[in-house]
Structure formats: C-alpha cells, structure tokens
C-alpha cells in the first residue's frame, strides 16, 4: 500500500508538474558540484548568478606527475594543486630527446628512467654545433657528426677546455686597430675560439668597445706597454708607468686589469723583470707576419710548425694577418687544437705563472 501511494505520488507529480514542451527543464551546474533543475526560460537568470549549462564548464581535468588524470570541480582545483596535481598536461610531461633525433613525451616521474637508457632532457644535450672552414655553421644530432665530418665539417670549438687534448694560444700584438682586429674577433666568434690581445695603451681611447668585445668573447686582454718602447732601454720608473698607463685604459674599458705583459720586441733585462709585477709572455712560434705581409705565408708558418702548448705570435694591425687568422683559426680547430687564452693555456697545462719571469710556451 505504501508503495502504491508512493507510486501514485510520483505519477501525480509527473502529470501535474512535468514541464510542457515550450518550458522544458534543464540541469545546470555550479562550480562546487551542485546541480539544479531549472526551466529553460529561467536559464539566463541562473547563468547571471554563477550557474553553468555544461558539466564541462564547471569541471577541470587535472594531472598527476605519474600520469593519473582526475576530473574535479572548479572550486576544488586549488585544493588538488596543494597536494601535487596540476592543471595542464604539459606541467606533468616533458619532451625528451635521443642522440639520433627521436623525441618522446614522458611523464615527469619517468624522466630518470628514460635518462638511464640514453634519453636527454634538453635538445642541446643531443645536438652539436658543426663548423665549416668558410664560416658556415649547422646544428646536427650527435649520430650525424661522423657523416658531416666526411664532407669537411668539423666540431666548432666548445667553451669547455679538455686538458687531455692539444691546445695553443694565438696572441695578437700592437692593436687594437678597428678594421683588422674586428675581423679577427669575428673569426674567433664564428668558431667559438679565444685568443689573447696584447694591446698598446695609447690605442685604447676610442676603441674601448673593441676591448669590451674581446672580453665578452672570452678573449684575454694583455698589456703591451703604453707606446711600444724597448723596455730594456727604460728606467724602472719609466717601465712601471708604461705598464700602469695601459692597465688604467684597459680597466676603464673592461673593468679589469691585465694579468700578463708582452714586452715589445721581446726585449727583456733584469730591470724589466723586476719592474713588472706580472708574468712576461714571449712566444714559441713566430709567424713573422709583420715582415711577410702575405696571408699564405703566415698561414703556412703556423700550420706547418704548430705544436701542442705553443704561444703563437701575430699582429692584429695588419690586414694580411687578419686574413691569415680567418684561415688559421678554423684550420687549427679542424686539426684538433683548442684555441685558448694565455692564462688558460698555463692553467690547463699545469703551470703557475709567477711574476717577474718570462714564458715562451706551456708544453
């Protein structure tokens, strides 16, 4: 009997209260999960006070770093975030890279497992920059390197120095001179190589930007006196002011002092040694580029004689030397030499450089 009454009640309600076709009911949703049946005519009024027509309007799929997905009410998002869920799939996934160019999207919790079997997190971890002797560059996957090497490409110099591999220090004296020095800097930049520039102090004013660029490229700025005298013919005081005047201008340009000095003409005596409180850097490979203003001669002078640990003497004030440098730099790298600064050469070859002493090479 009870059941019958209940049935009749429902029946009665359906008959009497069921909306007509023109006024059918719809279900609306609140962001906190409540639902309500409203007549179609009232829909907009409900929308105006925060109700939504679609379930998807009030819910959000959230993601866990292990790949689980969950649909939550909008009002629950913050609470789920607080316990490690994320709003975007990209927040819990990562694209990984293989050395042969394959890519894979994995869950964050899977990253370490994929690393263990040869996948990498960054595309830059599986690619390398290759250089051509004419200055072209290309980024290739590691597995492509050998094929590119067969057709004349080589690995551009890396920023990091490998102490186990050959290295030399290119040094350029007597500059800066805008036209030729900038060509050399451009070539160094192209191949990510470094050199040491022994600058003359009175050539710095107006060329401070060139020294800044040297410094920015990781090159070393050394001291080649203020106006290039033969220091062996100077008094101790004269020698000191030649060095300090140049250091002052170097400091004004790049905010640091020189750590090495190259005496003009390689001219050194006991007064010079004691007056200069820095290491005196000579050379082991003289290109004689100041005498033979011929790029081919200078290129051959370097490539035919170069040895690991050499300090190579050139002059950046000659156009022919800049032209030679444009070939020497990629050729040395292609031959397996790392082009480093004088300070780096000493460091990686295991030398300390006490002041007041002369150095020809770091072999």
Q: Which residues bind Zn ion (CB under 5 A)?
A: 173-174, 264
CB-nearer residue toward Zn ion: 110 or 316: 316
| Residue 106 Cα distances to 68, 94, 102, angstroms | 13, 5, 13
315 is catalytic: yes
CB-nearer residue toward Zn ion: 128 or 313: 313
Shortest Å, Cβ 244 to Zn ion = 18
Shortest Å, Cβ 248 to Zn ion = 19
Catalytic residue, candidates 174, 315, 318, 343: 315
Shortest Å, Cβ 250 to Zn ion = 16
224 is catalytic: no
Q: What are phi and psi of 128, to 5 degrees?
A: -135, 155
| Residue closest to Zn ion when measured from CB atoms | 173
Distance CA 55, CA 329 (A): 66
Shortest Å, Cβ 209 to Zn ion = 22
Distance CA 195, CA 209 (A): 17
Distance CA 227, CA 132 (A): 39
Distance CA 280, CA 275 (A): 11
Shortest Å, Cβ 225 to Zn ion = 8
CB-nearer residue toward Zn ion: 174 or 310: 174
CB-nearer residue toward Zn ion: 173 or 344: 173
CB-nearer residue toward Zn ion: 201 or 330: 201
Which of the residues are catalytic?
173, 315
């Amino acid at each position: 009997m009870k059941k019958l009454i209940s049935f009749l009640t429902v029946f009665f309600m359906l008959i009497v209260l069921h909306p007509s076709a023109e006024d059918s009911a719809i279900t609306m949703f609140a962001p906190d999960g409540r639902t309500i049946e409203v007549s179609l005519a009232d829909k907009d009024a409900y929308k105006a006070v925060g109700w939504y027509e679609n379930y998807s309007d009030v819910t959000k799929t959230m993601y866990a770093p292990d790949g689980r997905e969950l649909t939550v009410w909008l009002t629950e998002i913050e609470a789920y975030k607080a316990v490690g869920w994320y709003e975007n799939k990209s927040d819990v996934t990562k694209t990984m890279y293989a050395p042969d160019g394959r890519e894979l999207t994995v869950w964050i919790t899977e990253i370490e497992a994929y690393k263990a079997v040869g996948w990498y997190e960054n595309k830059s971890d599986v690619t390398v920059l290759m250089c051509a002797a004419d200055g072209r560059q290309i980024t290739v996957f590691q597995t492509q390197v050998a094929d590119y090497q067969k057709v004349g490409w080589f690995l551009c110099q890396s920023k990091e120095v490998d102490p186990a591999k050959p290295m030399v220090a290119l040094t350029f004296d007597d500059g800066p001179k805008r036209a030729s020095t900038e060509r050399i800097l451009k070539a160094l930049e192209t191949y990510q190589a470094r050199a040491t520039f022994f600058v003359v102090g009175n050539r710095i004013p107006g060329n401070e930007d060139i020294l800044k660029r040297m410094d920015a490229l990781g090159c070393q700025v050394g001291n080649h006196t203020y106006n290039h005298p033969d220091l062996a013919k100077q008094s101790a005081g004269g020698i000191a002011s030649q060095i300090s005047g140049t250091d002052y201008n170097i400091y004004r340009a790049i905010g640091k002092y020189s750590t090495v000095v190259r005496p003009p003409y390689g001219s050194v005596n006991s007064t010079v040694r004691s007056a200069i409180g820095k290491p005196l850097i000579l050379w082991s490979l003289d290109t004689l580029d100041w005498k033979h203003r011929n790029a081919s001669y200078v290129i051959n002078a370097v490539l035919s004689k170069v040895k690991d640990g050499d300090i190579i003497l050139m002059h950046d004030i000659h156009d022919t030397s800049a032209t030679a440098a444009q070939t020497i730099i990629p050729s040395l790298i292609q031959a397996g030499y790392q082009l480093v600064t004088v300070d780096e050469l000493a460091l990686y070859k295991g030398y300390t450089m006490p002041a007041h002493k002369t150095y020809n090479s770091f072999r």
